[in-house]
Amino acid sequence: MKTAILGASGYAGGELVRFIDDHDEFHLVHLGAHTQSGMPLGSVHPHLAGGSRVLGSNDPNALPEVDLVFLALPHGASAEIGKALADDGSRVVDLGADYRLDSDDRYRAAYGQPHPHPEDLGEWVYGLPELFDCTDTGRIASPGCYPTTTILGLAPLVVAGLIDPGTIVVNAVSGVSGAGRKLAEQFLFGSIDEGVVAYGVGVHRHRPEMEMALELLSGTRASVTFTPHLVPMQRGIVATSTATLVDPSTSRAVLLDALRSAYEGRPFVEVIDVPPQSRWTVNSNRALLSTFVDIPTGRVVVTAALDNLVKGAAGQAVQAANLMLDLPEDTGLPSHGWMP
Amino acid sequence: MKTAILGASGYAGGELVRFIDDHDEFHLVHLGAHTQSGMPLGSVHPHLAGGSRVLGSNDPNALPEVDLVFLALPHGASAEIGKALADDGSRVVDLGADYRLDSDDRYRAAYGQPHPHPEDLGEWVYGLPELFDCTDTGRIASPGCYPTTTILGLAPLVVAGLIDPGTIVVNAVSGVSGAGRKLAEQFLFGSIDEGVVAYGVGVHRHRPEMEMALELLSGTRASVTFTPHLVPMQRGIVATSTATLVDPSTSRAVLLDALRSAYEGRPFVEVIDVPPQSRWTVNSNRALLSTFVDIPTGRVVVTAALDNLVKGAAGQAVQAANLMLDLPEDTGLPSHGWMP
Amino acid sequence: MKTAILGASGYAGGELVRFIDDHDEFHLVHLGAHTQSGMPLGSVHPHLAGGSRVLGSNDPNALPEVDLVFLALPHGASAEIGKALADDGSRVVDLGADYRLDSDDRYRAAYGQPHPHPEDLGEWVYGLPELFDCTDTGRIASPGCYPTTTILGLAPLVVAGLIDPGTIVVNAVSGVSGAGRKLAEQFLFGSIDEGVVAYGVGVHRHRPEMEMALELLSGTRASVTFTPHLVPMQRGIVATSTATLVDPSTSRAVLLDALRSAYEGRPFVEVIDVPPQSRWTVNSNRALLSTFVDIPTGRVVVTAALDNLVKGAAGQAVQAANLMLDLPEDTGLPSHGWMP
Amino acid sequence: MKTAILGASGYAGGELVRFIDDHDEFHLVHLGAHTQSGMPLGSVHPHLAGGSRVLGSNDPNALPEVDLVFLALPHGASAEIGKALADDGSRVVDLGADYRLDSDDRYRAAYGQPHPHPEDLGEWVYGLPELFDCTDTGRIASPGCYPTTTILGLAPLVVAGLIDPGTIVVNAVSGVSGAGRKLAEQFLFGSIDEGVVAYGVGVHRHRPEMEMALELLSGTRASVTFTPHLVPMQRGIVATSTATLVDPSTSRAVLLDALRSAYEGRPFVEVIDVPPQSRWTVNSNRALLSTFVDIPTGRVVVTAALDNLVKGAAGQAVQAANLMLDLPEDTGLPSHGWMP
């Protein structure tokens, strides 16, 4: 498969290069960038053994013939580019948010303006492969990192009717790479190191994505309060979700079983007995889940971890592309993390 | 005031030495330790310009005559020592949990066993000086770091009847020093750095302390789900609390006002407009609070930050001792943090 | 003493505010800034309990009447401002490099251009108080962080004739705050965290400062190779210097004695038996030194540590100002560091 | 090739599992451990997708039939085990120091005692594949992390007669994983984070290894002062070496050429124009080198970086094993690092 990446200069773009270089079926023929077009890959991503590759353009018209395109573009940029490429017959996996939501109403609520191609919103598959079927489509909207972490942990419990989807409170912590490769005072080492801060309180755009996925999967309305936090590490997310049990006497074993049976046979989601350390997932496409009953309050706590740039972005995009192309979903993806 | 510290070899003990060495009214005459008794202060705390001081014993009978004693001992150790010293007429500030709870019932629920001196539980003042009167007592039980952070943010809203105390979900992140100076695989740099993990899910002992304080202050029953997380930094806590608004149309301004008026004139608690970065408080006795309305769900989010070893431990203990002795509450305490 | 800081918005400027706010004799009457003039202190330095102070101008003509001025300005900016203020009768402590070197020749070698006021170069005292007399001057050029760390460790050995000053190799590591508060890709958390890099190899401007100080103190020519490295921490420097022993049979005890006797009675320099951890100095004005003989090669290794923003910048500037004004040199300065 | 790892529970052991699991030719049939024998792999290395594998014994007599054994044992443990396995016909790659030195004299100088099998010392190949031939042996002693970093940078310059091998000063910084997985106060997060310290000054055991390799390669005597430092990161080494140029007018281009021609065609060593960031190598088997002339002193500075657990340990061991077995040297090894 001749493969292109548009937006190869960012963090997720760099991870896509790394995974696809090691992929047996996908062959990189084009790396696009915007301001860094024309730069050697090795100077933009000095951790990649770049050889002599040079970044080209993000312009879809400047692409060589390709079968598969990954888009890792700033918000809004893939609405046109993704549509053009997909309408033209390329298979497209978009890591951006432009086609994740399923209706213009939800899009307006999240982004405060209408979608440029609202009629296309239903055409894209929400690319969370353990919960949505990615095999029969050419258009995949790859989920955000926080929604992936959260939905993997909550969806089986909502679907099984074990928790009340109107009572969900999600708090998450993320490594700094989740914010992308941005030059801003708030992302300096001197600002980040040795401190933690909440952000986007009450207004983070990943909340509607969480509610949509839970509603699509369960057919019931979900109501999520979502508060993300930035912590001093490069990668990794832990999302801790609390919700009221429908039956307060539900045992922990029942909850663990619901999670385990939902992901049986899937290589990348593992349910464990202890709260997962995000480090155990870094550099792999693994998601780790656990759940506990908070007995005095009759609530459940689900805690989930993954690498925001792998299972939360580039790895999951490759996983979805594998399925779209009838390959084993773990082709070319790391299943081991690394420590220390 | 001739002052002693028992448990001077731990992290909180080291901070007590630092603050009291700079205090105009308290004069350190004894530093007690257990296994490190006999060691020079400078080898136990190489960051302190130790001079020739040597750690002595934690045995209260081995103390020189003192007016004021700070206890920074392992859980359970101050039940006897603190009682003996206080019964003997010393003013005692206990940084441990032994006398924090107000009844044997609550103590049994938290610790799974009866308190050795249940009749004394009501005799100790819960030493959160902005909310509990510390001026007229010789026995102060200094609060835990998580409860301090959480209660400062929630109590004024519960007391004002703005939020439903039965719906509280608290998620907190803490630097590693909160776990104390313990030699365990899980606290190695190789285990902690670049990862986040939840712990004590559903069973952390600080939950009853939070519920007790809110109930004592508001006279209504509180129900808290509390999930703490360890993050790769030395110091600092951010506690993010979510609760349902009694009146979903309550504005953010009303909530901010409730917080501001609760702490008017107090030097160490500041209400700000943005979510507080824990770094802004490190090395100071400051607590920073902010609050937001999550409009779609009718919930409130309170996010609070402080340095777990200062306002969350040693600094707050000195603050309470100042008040106990009719000194200005900020005597000897740093009001500036430091960055970067 | 009415005191002003010009350049109060940077990292060293923030530390000056912190120390001078706690100083019994210096009273801050003006905080100057360039692009952030007009901003509240608390928004520029959110870790400082700012009250209502607002940053003013860096223009020396806009200053209120002051007795003492600290300059923490970008390189080149204090050549004119510092001269104007000092000629006008203010006591000036310049944290910049403009007046550190003692001759136009040395300045041209370091900076590639002539000094605008070469005739003034000899008028300023190099403000390393343990080695240069700061009591009888109104103009102090405060040393760089790397030279302070290095010279404190090497000078006594060079002066005593124990090591060959023509064979000095200095390698140093520094926390990121040493580079100042700069918005650049290379200082992002994503670039710094979990990596180390050498920089300025062969061309760093602190080398001539080291050679000058050693030559002024010993009267012999010094030749230094200096390679600094950036490490993922906020603060702290360790400088490790290697030089050939004049007499290869010199014992370690002789070297330690030479260091100890050089700093006897000085509150901020301590000679210890083990290699100093930079953390033991952070937030204090302490410098820690140790030295070892590398027996197989007949070389000496000196390893020194301090906090680059305190003893390496703001703290040392206050120390020098204290001496200039016949105050005890430790007035208003922290002698304890903090951990963890 | 049926492959075993003895010492699979440590950091290097974990990396060996990760690489060999992805290796097309090596098939893991046994994972040995000492105190953790009997434990599931996934509880000892929770970052590895362990499946149901369980750690077995380190006893060579308990091994199933194997063709290739990697030893990642504590110092001293492989002297007997390695000899027994190799004498028995297994191909052995020892990551320990037991057979690295080439003579009992050097071993006694380094370790203060005679080698138990001095006659075997010459039988093992020093497994630095870019400089020593690993193709024609069954016994490989894999180099230490600091020697690998240093020798790669210095050897070509010594061999070409460009620098004086009697004047070498090496300063290195390493991430904490270099010290292994040890439970000690000095490796706690609270001790390591935000600080730097030199250690083993004048006595580190990697110095004789550096001198040996340079002498074997150049036929001239080398004299190295080596000072390592611990920095707050998990992985990565930067070694910065200084030496006097034989001809002080040697240009930088000549030095870069000498390095480039030495490693031409080798996949894992790259000579670059700027000082290498250790982060650019993490998680890959790459070593990055650069060199500079310190013109005023007539000295050369070489700065080199690699991942101490990959090119400095497990990756290099697999690389040497590949060559020993006539496979391409990069089989199964990551050439891309990862960031951020």
Would you kindly state where each structural domain of chain C is located, as residue ranges? 2-143+311-324, 145-308
| Residues contacting residue D219 through CB under 8 Å, at least 6 positions apart | none
Residues B151, B157, B160, B163: is their CA dihedral positive or negative?
negative
Q: Report pLDDT digits (tens) over B149-195.
A: 999 999 999 999 999 999 999 999 999 999 888 999 999 999 999 99
Q: Report pLDDT digits (tens) over D254-299.
A: 999 999 999 999 999 999 999 999 999 999 999 999 999 999 999 9
Report the chain C residue with the minimal C-alpha distance to residue B332.
C22
Instruction: Note whether C190 contacts A187, CB cutoff 8 Å.
Output: yes
Instruction: Note whether D11 contacts A234, CB cutoff 8 Å.
Output: no
DSSP characters over D119-161:
GGGGGSEE--TTTS--SS-SEEEPPPHHHHHHHHHHHHHHHTT
Q: Report pLDDT digits (tens) over D176-214.
A: 999 888 999 999 999 999 999 999 999 999 999 999 999
Mean pLDDT of chain A: 96
Neighbour subunits, C (≥3 Cβ pairs < 8 A)? A, B, D
| Contact (Cβ atoms closer than 8 angstroms) between residue D16 and residue D2 | no
| Contact (Cβ atoms closer than 8 angstroms) between residue A336 and residue A28 | no
Q: Determine the Cα–Cα distance for residues B149 and A196; give it in Å rounded to an integer.
A: 14
Report the chain B residue with the minimal C-alpha distance to residue C306.
B47
Instruction: Locate A221 and state its tokens.
Output: 């309305």
Instruction: Note whether D173 contacts C173, CB cutoff 8 Å.
Output: yes
D193 closest CB neighbour out of B184, B185, B234: B234
Instruction: Note whether B47 contacts C21, CB cutoff 8 Å.
Output: no
Q: What is the mean pLDDT of residues A200-218?
A: 95
A194 closest CB neighbour out of C185, C191, C234: C234
Residue C48 Cα, gap to closest chain A Cα (Å): 14
Q: Which residues of B touch C231 (CB under 8 A)?
A: none
| Contact (Cβ atoms closer than 8 angstroms) between residue A167 and residue A223 | yes
Q: Determine the Cα–Cα distance for residues A90 and A69; give it in Å rounded to an integer.
A: 7
Interface check B282 vs C, CB under 8 A: yes
Report the chain B residue with the minimal C-alpha distance to residue D188.
B188
Interface check C183 vs B, CB under 8 A: no
- Residues of D annotated catalytic, as ranges: 145
- The H-or-E segment that residue D190 falls in is helix D189-192
Instruction: Note whether A283 contacts D48, CB cutoff 8 Å.
Output: no
| Contact (Cβ atoms closer than 8 angstroms) between residue A228 and residue A173 | yes
Q: Determine the Cα–Cα distance for residues C269 and A136; give it in Å rounded to an integer.
A: 71
Q: Which residues pair with D269 in a beta bridge?
A: D287
Q: Determine the Cα–Cα distance for residues A278 and A237; give it in Å rounded to an integer.
A: 6
Instruction: Note whether D305 contacts C196, CB cutoff 8 Å.
Output: yes
Q: Determine the Cα–Cα distance for residues C340 and D190; give it in Å rounded to an integer.
A: 5
Q: Which residues of D touch C222 (CB under 8 A)?
A: none
- Residue A121 confidence (pLDDT): 93
Q: Determine the Cα–Cα distance for residues B82 and B121; give it in Å rounded to an integer.
A: 12
The DSSP 8-state label assigned to residue B177 in this structure reads: G
Backbone angles phi, psi at D287, to 5 degrees: -120, 135
What letter represents residue C212's amino acid? M
- Residues of C annotated catalytic, as ranges: 145
Whole-number Cα distances in Å, B38 to B35, B52, B53, B74: 9, 12, 10, 19
Instruction: Locate D243 and state its tokens.
Output: 């030496």
Query: B64 exposed, middle or buried (CB, 10 Å; 0-12, 13-18, 19+)?
Result: exposed
Instruction: Note whether C338 contacts B21, CB cutoff 8 Å.
Output: no
Mean pLDDT of chain C: 96
Q: Determine the Cα–Cα distance for residues B244 and C296; give it in Å rounded to an integer.
A: 72
Q: Determine the Cα–Cα distance for residues C81 and C97; give it in Å rounded to an integer.
A: 13
Q: What is the mean pLDDT of residues D101-130?
A: 94
Confidence of residue A26 (pLDDT cuts 50, 70, 90): very high
| Residues contacting residue D212 through CB under 8 Å, at least 6 positions apart | D100, D101, D102, D106, D126
| Contact (Cβ atoms closer than 8 angstroms) between residue A37 and residue A58 | yes
Interface check D183 vs B, CB under 8 A: yes
Q: Look up the CATH number of domain A145-308.
A: 3.30.360.10
The DSSP 8-state label assigned to residue B131 in this structure reads: T
Instruction: Note whether A270 contacts D177, CB cutoff 8 Å.
Output: no
Which 3 state secondary structure label does DSSP give A328?
coil
Instruction: Note whether B232 contacts D189, CB cutoff 8 Å.
Output: yes
Instruction: Locate A277 and state its tokens.
Output: 């350390």
Q: Determine the Cα–Cα distance for residues C310 and C300; give it in Å rounded to an integer.
A: 27
Tell which residue, A182, A174, A123, A115, has the closest CA to residue A147: A174
CB atoms within 10 A of CB D255: 24
Q: Report pLDDT digits (tens) over C286-305.
A: 999 999 999 999 999 999 99
- Residue B339 confidence (pLDDT): 83
- Residue D340 confidence (pLDDT): 82
Interface check B187 vs A, CB under 8 A: no
Q: Determine the Cα–Cα distance for residues A116 and A95; give it in Å rounded to an integer.
A: 18
- Residue A153 confidence (pLDDT): 98
Interface check C177 vs D, CB under 8 A: no
Pairing of β D168-174 and β D224-230: parallel
Q: Determine the Cα–Cα distance for residues A270 and B20; give it in Å rounded to an integer.
A: 50
- Residue pairs between chains A and C whose CB atoms are closer than 8 Å: 52
Q: Which residues of B touch C49 (CB under 8 A)?
A: 267, 270, 284, 286, 335-336
Q: What is the mean pLDDT of residues B3-25?
A: 96
Instruction: Note whether C340 contacts B176, CB cutoff 8 Å.
Output: yes
Tell which residue, A131, A134, A135, has the closest CA to residue A158: A131
3-state secondary structure D26-66: CEEEEEEECCCCCCEHHHHCCCCCCCCCECEECCHHHCCCC
Give which of A185, A188, A235, A282 to mutate to test C binding, by max C Cβ within 10 Å: A188
Per-residue pLDDT at C42 exceeds 70: yes
Q: Which residues of A touch D283 (CB under 8 A)?
A: 283, 338
Q: Record the pTM.
A: 0.96
Instruction: Locate A148 and state its tokens.
Output: 């992936």
CB atoms within 10 A of CB B255: 24
Backbone angles phi, psi at A106, to 5 degrees: -65, -40
- Residue A338 confidence (pLDDT): 85
Instruction: Locate B47 and state its tokens.
Output: 């960051």
Report the chain A residue with the minimal C-alpha distance to residue D236.
A340
3-state secondary structure A7-20: CCCCHHHHHHHHHH
Report the chain D residue with the minimal C-alpha distance to residue A270.
D49
Q: Which residues of D touch B9 (CB under 8 A)?
A: none
Q: Percent of chain C scored above 70 by pLDDT?
A: 100
Instruction: Note whether D297 contacts C238, CB cutoff 8 Å.
Output: no
Confidence of residue B295 (pLDDT cuts 50, 70, 90): very high
Per-residue pLDDT at D50 exceeds 70: no
Instruction: Locate C67 and state its tokens.
Output: 């007795």
Q: Determine the Cα–Cα distance for residues A191 and D116; give it in Å rounded to an integer.
A: 54
Listed range (A44-53, A59-68, A231-240, C8-17) with the worst mean pLDDT: A44-53
Q: Report pLDDT digits (tens) over C303-327.
A: 999 999 999 999 999 999 999 999 9
Interface check B221 vs D, CB under 8 A: no
Report the chain A residue with the minimal C-alpha distance to residue B228.
A240
| Contact (Cβ atoms closer than 8 angstroms) between residue D63 and residue D110 | no
Q: What is the mean pLDDT of residues D47-75?
A: 92
Instruction: Note whether A278 contacts B197, CB cutoff 8 Å.
Output: yes
Confidence of residue D4 (pLDDT cuts 50, 70, 90): very high
Report the chain A residue with the minimal C-alpha distance to residue C186.
A188
Q: Determine the Cα–Cα distance for residues D339 and B113; give it in Å rounded to an integer.
A: 50
B233 closest CB neighbour out of A201, A232, A238: A232
Confidence of residue A169 (pLDDT cuts 50, 70, 90): very high
Instruction: Note whether D11 contacts A339, CB cutoff 8 Å.
Output: yes
- Which parts of chain A are beta strand (E)? 2-6, 27-33, 56-57, 68-71, 91-94, 125-126, 139-141, 168-174, 197-198, 224-230, 237-244, 269-271, 287-294, 299-306
Q: Determine the Cα–Cα distance for residues D145 and C65; give it in Å rounded to an integer.
A: 60
Interface check B229 vs A, CB under 8 A: yes
Interface check D136 vs B, CB under 8 A: no
Per-residue pLDDT at A313 exceeds 80: yes
| Contact (Cβ atoms closer than 8 angstroms) between residue A41 and residue A106 | no
Q: Which residues of D touch A267 (CB under 8 A)?
A: 49
Q: Which residues of A touch D281 (CB under 8 A)?
A: 47
Per-residue pLDDT at A50 exceeds 70: no
Instruction: Locate A103 and state its tokens.
Output: 């209706």
Of these residues, A16, A128, A131, A145, which one is catalytic? A145
Instruction: Note whether D338 contacts A15, CB cutoff 8 Å.
Output: yes
The DSSP 8-state label assigned to residue A163 in this structure reads: B
Whole-number Cα distances in Å, D134 to A212, D137, D243: 58, 6, 29
D340 preceded by a cis bond (ω within 30 of 0): yes
Ramachandran area for residue D180 (φ above 0: left; ψ -120 to 50: alpha; else beta)? left
Residue B201 Cα, gap to closest chain A Cα (Å): 7
A283 closest CB neighbour out of D22, D281, D338: D338
The two most distant CA atoms of chain C are separated, in Å, by 62
Confidence of residue C50 (pLDDT cuts 50, 70, 90): low
Of these residues, B73, B145, B157, B282, which one is catalytic? B145
Tell which residue, C277, C257, C281, has the closest CA to residue C268: C281
- Residue D109 confidence (pLDDT): 87
The two most distant CA atoms of chain B are separated, in Å, by 62
Per-residue pLDDT at D122 exceeds 80: yes
| Contact (Cβ atoms closer than 8 angstroms) between residue C152 and residue C128 | yes
Report the chain C residue with the minimal C-alpha distance to residue D340.
C190
Q: Report pLDDT digits (tens) over D73-92.
A: 998 999 999 999 999 999 99
Query: A178 exposed, middle or buried (CB, 10 Å; 0-12, 13-18, 19+)?
Result: buried
CB atoms within 10 A of CB D93: 30
| Contact (Cβ atoms closer than 8 angstroms) between residue C269 and residue C130 | yes
- Residue C49 confidence (pLDDT): 80
Q: Determine the Cα–Cα distance for residues D285 and D48; give it in Å rounded to an integer.
A: 19
Instruction: Note whether C189 contacts A185, CB cutoff 8 Å.
Output: no
Q: Look up the CATH number of domain B2-143+311-324.
A: 3.40.50.720
Per-residue pLDDT at B241 exceeds 90: yes
| Residues contacting residue C82 through CB under 8 Å, at least 6 positions apart | C71, C92, C94, C96, C98, C99, C139
Confidence of residue B50 (pLDDT cuts 50, 70, 90): low
Residue C177 Cα, gap to closest chain A Cα (Å): 7
